[in-house]
Amino acid sequence: MLCKRIIPCLDVNQGRVVKGIQFVNLIDAGDPVEVAKQYNKNHADEIVFLDITASHEGRDTILDVVNQTAKEIFIPLTVGGGIRTTEDIKKILRAGADKVAINSSAVKNPHLINEGAKQYGNQCIVVAIDAKRNTEKGSWDVYIHGGRLNTNKDAIAWAKEVQQRGAGEILLTSMDCDGTKNGYDIELTKKVSQAVGIPVIASGGAGTPQHFSDVLTEGYADAALAASLFHFGEIQILELKNYLKNEGITVRP
């Protein structure tokens, strides 16, 4: 059985790690390089680094911060934000990232997924999906530009399409649960995980060790991502892994 992964997420805005609730009310959580170094020491399996305003502001990802971070850590690094072309993908990978996460650009230009996978390999391409429940339709809509714009795409259908186009992984964020600490959206995660044959990283809503256990078992997620819980020391990654191990979930030591 493949090990389930625990992944801290560094949302970066203007060169600082930030965290908010449902994509707003951001508060400062430190220097990204220093925060990443701590996670590297504290048994994180990977790190996701998202430049959360790059796409909305129409600018490139902060490459120098990516480069500095990559030099300081020895676990896989995924970087997203402001990636619009295969040239952007190349720059991020050359700066030291192992994978790139594309969201807004993938929706606007789905062929970017195909081209990125073709040029750099499926394992490099993570498609981030920000999904919000549509109560009228009984489904989830895909949002872009940091949760500012509803594309009216169905999240489950979009997940299937990105796999077909060559994505190697999906980073699935529940906008409804993000930052609430009330638990992941198990229903959404389960539906996406069952619809695709590639790994799904669950994001949005972690508040207790039980929440991680729930999404990794009931939600069929391959990995669980969190931010503020880890940033502010509410849960230590090693303690979380010990808890999951005691729950019968296979994790890396």
Catalytic residue among 11, 45, 88, 222: 11
- pLDDT for residue 23: 44
As a whole number of angstroms, the distance between CA 165 and CA 51 comes to: 24
- 200-203 vs 169-174, strand pairing mode: parallel
- Establish whether 130 is a catalytic residue: yes
Catalytic residue among 130, 141, 185, 214: 130
pLDDT digits (tens, 9 = 90+) for 55-88: 555 545 578 888 989 999 999 999 998 899 999 9
Instruction: Map residue 11 onto helix, strand or coil.
Output: strand
As a whole number of angstroms, the distance between CA 116 and CA 122 comes to: 8
- pLDDT for residue 84: 93
End-to-end CA distance of the chain: 15
Q: Which helix (H) or strand (E) is 216 found in, with range?
A: helix 209-217
- Establish whether 64 is a catalytic residue: no
Q: Which domains does the chain have, with CATH numbers?
A: 5-246 (3.20.20.70)
pLDDT digits (tens, 9 = 90+) for 28-59: 556 888 888 989 999 999 999 988 665 555 54
